[in-house]
Amino acid sequence: MQTTLRTNTLQQSLIISGLFVAALFSLNLLLFRPGTVAVVMLSGLYQGMLFFLIAAGMSIVFGLLDVLNLAQGAFFMLGAYAGFAIYGALPDGVPIEIRFVSALIGATVFGGLAGAAMEVGLLRPLYARPVYQIVMTLGLSTAINEVVRAVYGPAGLVPIEEPPALATTFGILGGQFETYRVFIIFIGAALMVGISFLLQRTRLGIVIRAGVQDSEMVQALGINVRRTFTLVFALGTAVAALGGITAAPFLGAYPGMGTDFLLVAIIVIVIGGMSSYEGTAIASLLVGLTRATAEQISLQFFNTPVLASVSILLFMVVVLLVRPNGLFGREG
């Protein structure tokens, strides 16, 4: 019975999400020319993937470990700074492509290692104290931001140079869109599928879920649950760090850059359902499309982007009024 109800709820949520996307697309067609519509939809996907890169880790960690990591935005920022450090540390004459790929890989690895150290040294003793967890992650986020500000200064770093092949634009129905943003869309989509496969189809995913339900039973089978949880936390922070360096060619790196993304990530998780990775993935896209549409409407008709941020807050309120547990959240 519970499985049937869960399936029906999932189907209803997918239908609602599809209808919402169709409504946004129709609104764009009504207000803008085809080229602008194409750019807005691509921009929505791009923004949604950036939101996903920071929200996915929070969703995984919360859903499987019951830890709300408010330091996730700091890892997003650390990924950008680590990528800058690696990019600039390579000798002169190294091609931009190698610098860029090295920065992506290095920042991701750094984020994962830093997250693993945080889980082992700071979070593990607090698993039975959820309030302490929240306070600790919030305090750590503040500390990381202040250390970065002291080391690099408050002004931040200018955007790094992406490979020439990605530093172009292309035409679509009369509009223009940056190739690099399409690259971010592909990165996000690949991670969406890859993480879902990891959680649903691999032995590690099964161990993770079983460990959350009954860690003592899993330990009795000879499986190191603590190590598994460390891997999960490292995965979450690594994805956030990848998001930071991926955004660096547009945003640069500056103290507190992850704070705004963290706030949106929390909204995404609430809309999707606090314990649902699939809900977070879909909600990221819905929030991105909503924000891009509102931003275009705001700029074209009111000459200000203020509606962009307001729109996602209103979206969250409407979703919670209809579904208090989020689109894909479980009852209770």
Q: Any bridge partners for residue 171, and if so which?
A: 176
- Cβ neighbours, 10 Å, residue 25: 16
The mean predicted confidence, pLDDT, of the chain is: 88
Q: Which residues of 193-227 are buried (b: 16+ CB within 10 A; e: fewer)?
A: eebeeebeeeeebebbebbbeebeebeeeebebee
Contact status, residue 176 vs residue 273, Cβ threshold 8 Å: no
Residue 314: per-residue pLDDT: 92
At 112 the pLDDT is 96
**Per-position DSSP letters for 54-114, written without gaps between them:** HHHHHHHHHHHH----TTHHHHHHHHHHHHHHHHHHSPTT--HHHHHHHHHHHHHHHHHHH
Q: What is the DSSP-derived secondary structure letter of residue 327?
A: S
Q: Residues 30, 282, 225, CA angle at the centre, nearest 5°?
A: 170
Amino acid 8: pLDDT: 66
Query: Whole-prediction pTM value?
Result: 0.91
Residues (pLDDT < 70) of the chain are: 1-9, 209, 211-216, 331-332
**Residue recorded with tokens 């889980």:** 119
Q: Which of 3.20.20, 1.10.3470, 1.20.120, 3.40.190 would CATH assign to domain 46-322?
A: 1.10.3470
Neighbours of 113 (CB within 10 A): 14
